[in-house]
Amino acid sequence: MAELFLAALILIFCSGLPAMAWGRWGRRGELASVILLVLGVSLALVATLAAGMQTPAPILALAWAHPAGQFVLELDGIAVLFLLPALVILGMGGIYGLGYFPQVKFGRAAGRVRLFYGILGTSVALLPVCRNGILFLMAWEVMALSCFFLILTDQKEESARRAAYVYLMATHAGTLALFALFILLAGSSGNFDFPWAATLPGATVTAGAVFLLGLFGFGMKAGMMPLHFWLPAAHANAPSHVSAFMSGVMIKMGIYGLVRITSFYSSPPAWWGWTVLALGVISAIMGVVFALAQHDIKRLLAYHSVENIGIILIGLGCALLGQSFHHPSVVALGLAGALLHVVNHGLFKSLLFLGAGSVIQATGTRMIDHYGGLLRAMPYTAFFFLGGAVAICGLPPLNGFVSEWLIYLGLLHSQTAGAISPLSLAVLAIPALAMTGALALACFVKVFGVTFLGTARRDFQIPPQEAPGSMLLPMGVLFLGCLAIGLMPWAIVPLLQRGIVSWLGTGSVAVPLITTLAPVIWISLGAILLLGIIGVVWYRQSFPEDDYQRRPATWGCGYIKGTARMQYSASSFAEQLVRLFRWGLWSDISEGRTIGFFPALARFADHTPDVVLDRLLYPTFRALTRAAFLLRSFFHQGRINVYLLYCALTLCLLLIWLI
């Protein structure tokens, strides 16, 4: 199976070449690229699913001229759970691009997108199966560079260039930490092959340094607070199907890295779990709060990625605490919830980005306040977007509810008999998780209501139309995936169980079955019942009985028809919640007051910049730049004798240091 998986990666890597070769009018080349991509994805899915059923996991070891270990790939339980959503989203994004970013309209730019999209997909699919640090870093760097070029697709726009270079700076800062991490792991042996699970002692200084370096390097890629600053602009400026892959899959490689490196250690110290849990709570709450304040639909969805990364970190922190305090049920439920949320978030967040891309293509803008009444023109897109919104809010009967329910159970199991007193404090994360869900619900009521309900707020030159079939098909597939996990969570439980065993290692204590800790069959029955109730209500509303008397219209206070100005805007809907969290948002609000009986025209506007990037990093770097110019004007005198003096002083300092 590993050989088949490697062959599939080669096909995915080469999938963009036909689109580049045929040029601007190469519809055939574009179709050939999609066929190659889908074929490679299909073969990789077959290999991944087959590996998920094999024991032991298939391993491919090849001779490598590099002295630091072998070329080793392993399709273990953790890799399978990260690969399944990645491959599905990769293939659906390639099909979506036929309608969203066609070669006939965008020319060579579309060919470049397909080329780097295939390279990005290959590197992302390679990372979870790497068992060697050098190979991992090579794939990591290819992923970083290909993503940089994809963000830079619309390179004539200053915002795209700025977002791409901020991302490049951030990802390379994280990569430097990963270099140090793998050097520490290699130690004096110089062998960069990954250790087996639970074979290294956790209570050492080196282990703590590895954890902190991984938390920075992988946390930067995952976009956890406060290392998220590159993420909103990068997701907003990339093409929508690329944003879907970045948010649904690429940032999860940061989560994968944290899951993998923590699996190397047995009995990790408790502060690891508390640190991850605290960062998860901060990321979840502040991510959804920043999303509430956004007016750009893609930036809003990007901040929800930060929120869901926080939810995953809460589950991982719960599992680490359970391992530290030797509580197997807390480990099983926390890690199962985190891994399942990796899968679920990939599906519903990609669905939301694809739905947002359809809206953007139909309207030509990303600003939510310019939308309105799109349900009539785009009913299928509205339905799929609503499905993704229900899933991301953690509501039944879709998949987001199942993974969050497992994390809730993991936190609650810290209160069971036999739990050590410090572990019981993990239950304090439950109110934060509940608050996150409530704020997410408010945010998506705002987005769906302002975008699809009501009347149009703006007259478009070209009336919005429904997305073509090549864009609706991927959304339908992802929606069915969300629905399938929500209705049949028991189908994915065996994969979760294998992932937990891979994380704990074969020499660990017996892992309790998830089905005994969380009887997911009741979720299926409850979800089916809820779906039936929804169907009955919809039928009664759509097809009333014959004797149904239609009520007359409500008196409109003298207005024959409401205007767009009478509707809630994105700003007004979320104003009270934004004011409640103004201490953390630092929003710029300008509001005109209406005074007197005949007030003048007043306008309300608010803008919420990113606290880390716009309020901290940009001012700091500007100050450093000014200081550097001042130092340059002082030291650069333009005289050769002064420069020779600098050289002599430097040599003297070096000699003193050597002595």
d(Cα 67, Cα 52) in Å, to the nearest integer?
A: 31
The pLDDT of residue 568: 78
- Least confident stretch, 136-140, 409-413, 453-457, 569-573: 569-573
The pLDDT of residue 573: 82
Direct distance between the N- and C-terminal alpha carbons of the chain, in angstroms, rounded to an integer: 59
193 forms bridges with which residues in the sheet?
132
| CA 81 from centre of chain | 15
Which whole number is the average pLDDT over 368-390? 93
The pLDDT of residue 607: 79
The pLDDT of residue 385: 96
**Is the pLDDT at 547 greater than 80, yes or no?**
no
For the residues of 602-625, what is the DSSP string, one character each? --EEEE---IIIIIIIHHHHHHHH
Which whole number is the average pLDDT over 238-254? 95
In a domain, 55, yes or no: yes
**Is the pLDDT at 548 greater than 70, yes or no?**
no
Which residue is associated with the tokens 């870093």? 137
> What three-state secondary structure class fits 61?
strand
In a domain, 189, yes or no: yes
Band (pLDDT 50/70/90 cuts) for residue 363 is very high
Return all residues near 25 (Cβ < 8 A) that are at least 6 apart: 103, 104
Burial class (CB in 10 A: 0-12, 13-18, 19+), 49: middle
In a domain, 454, yes or no: no
The pTM of the full predicted model, rounded to 2 decimals, is 0.92
Both tokens of 65, joined, read 């001229």
The pLDDT of residue 153: 92
- Least confident stretch, 179-188, 235-244, 577-586: 577-586
Long-range contacts of 190-195 (CB under 8 A, 24+ apart): 190/67, 190/68, 191/68, 191/69, 192/68, 192/69, 192/132, 192/133, 192/134, 193/69, 193/70, 193/72, 193/131, 193/132, 193/133, 194/130, 194/131, 194/132, 194/133, 194/260, 194/264, 195/264
In a domain, 369, yes or no: no
**Is the pLDDT at 285 greater than 90, yes or no?**
yes
**For 433-481, how does the pLDDT look when each residue is reduced to its tens digit (9 = 90+)?**
999 999 999 999 999 999 998 888 888 888 899 999 999 999 999 999 9
Q: Give 149's Cβ-side CA count (13 Å radius).
A: 17
User: For the chain, what percent of residues have pLDDT higher than 70?
Assistant: 93
The pLDDT of residue 165: 95
**Is the pLDDT at 633 greater than 70, yes or no?**
yes
Q: Name the DSSP class of 511.
A: P
The pLDDT of residue 495: 92
**For 599-627, how does the pLDDT look when each residue is reduced to its tens digit (9 = 90+)?**
777 777 777 888 899 889 999 999 998 98
Which whole number is the average pLDDT over 211-220? 96
Q: Give 459's Cβ-side CA count (13 Å radius).
A: 1
d(Cα 164, Cα 357) in Å, to the nearest integer?
A: 19
Q: Which domain holds residue 164?
A: 1-193+227-239
Cα dist. 37→10, 16, 114 in Å? 10, 8, 10
- Least confident stretch, 238-242, 377-381, 424-428: 424-428
In a domain, 328, yes or no: no
d(Cα 498, Cα 83) in Å, to the nearest integer?
A: 14
Using alpha carbons, select from 165, 194, 201 the residue that is nearest to residue 256.
194
The pLDDT of residue 549: 55
**Is the pLDDT at 553 greater than 80, yes or no?**
no
d(Cα 152, Cα 166) in Å, to the nearest integer?
A: 11
**Is the pLDDT at 108 greater than 90, yes or no?**
no
- Indicate left, alpha or beta for 600 from its phi (over 0: left) and psi (-120 to 50: alpha): beta
Q: Are 109 and 239 in contact (CB under 8 A)?
A: no
Band (pLDDT 50/70/90 cuts) for residue 169 is very high
Domain finish residue from 219, 239, 259: 239
Domain finish residue from 239, 269, 299: 239
**Is the pLDDT at 538 greater than 80, yes or no?**
no
Long-range contacts of 319-322 (CB under 8 A, 24+ apart): 319/273, 319/410, 319/503, 320/262, 320/268, 320/272, 320/273, 320/276, 320/277, 321/270, 321/273, 321/274, 321/277, 321/414, 321/423, 321/426, 322/273, 322/410, 322/413, 322/414, 322/423
Band (pLDDT 50/70/90 cuts) for residue 556 is low
- Least confident stretch, 161-165, 365-369, 429-433, 640-644: 640-644
In a domain, 352, yes or no: no
Band (pLDDT 50/70/90 cuts) for residue 225 is very high
Total domains in the fold of the chain: 2
Which whole number is the average pLDDT over 100-108? 87
In a domain, 56, yes or no: yes
Which whole number is the average pLDDT over 1-28? 83
**Is the pLDDT at 290 greater than 90, yes or no?**
yes
- Least confident stretch, 45-59, 150-164, 268-282: 45-59
Which whole number is the average pLDDT over 531-540? 80
Q: Are 353 and 234 in contact (CB under 8 A)?
A: no
**For 508-530, how does the pLDDT look when each residue is reduced to its tens digit (9 = 90+)?**
556 777 877 888 888 878 878 88
Which residue is associated with the tokens 């050590």? 420
**For 185-208, how does the pLDDT look when each residue is reduced to its tens digit (9 = 90+)?**
988 667 888 988 888 888 899 999
In a domain, 167, yes or no: yes
Domain finish residue from 210, 239, 268: 239
**For 483-492, how does the pLDDT look when each residue is reduced to its tens digit (9 = 90+)?**
999 999 999 9
The pLDDT of residue 205: 92
The pLDDT of residue 427: 85
Q: Are 339 and 489 in contact (CB under 8 A)?
A: no
Average pLDDT across the chain, whole number = 88
Backbone angles phi, psi at 567, to 5 degrees: -90, 160
